[in-house]
Amino acid sequence: MTPHLTDIPALETKRLTFRAPQASDFETLAPFVMSDRATFIGGGADKDLGHAWRILAILCGQWHLRGFGAFVAVRKDTGQTIGSMGPWHPEPVPEKELSWTIWDAEPEGQGFAFEAMKMIRRHVYGDLG
């Protein structure tokens, strides 16, 4: 049995659904984390599967530790998992922030991150206060 993060709301925009991170996201997340595209978010070509697994654990764990965290964004038209997006506050960073990562280069440049951040910002201010 795989437990799920059950209290995480699902959000939607015209093109995207935002849901809780889950174990099956590792298949899409790991190649990103181990690529040079992830260098500035703690990944990189020098990282391994263990490091990628810990990144997924961080995405899940922040929900438990803070009561909020990054959602996984999924395209409605294709079902493609495209990245993580949401409120973020790891230690020792003093300020809460909005974060986003697009895990594969193919959906880049199509406005998904902008669309996501508008919805997530509304969620943060309206639902989380």
- How far is the C-alpha of 86 from the C-alpha of 41, rounded, in Å? 14
- How far is the C-alpha of 11 from the C-alpha of 8, rounded, in Å? 9
Q: Which CATH number does 11-128 carry? A: 3.40.630.30
Q: Kindly report the pTM of this predicted structure.
A: 0.90
Return per-residue pLDDT of the chain as tens, 129 residues. Answer: 555 666 788 999 999 999 999 999 999 999 999 999 999 988 999 999 999 999 999 999 999 899 999 999 999 999 999 999 999 998 898 999 999 999 999 999 999 999 999 999 999 999 988
Question: Which residues, 6 or more positions from 99, have their beta carbon under 8 angstroms from its beta carbon?
Answer: 70, 84, 85, 86, 87, 88
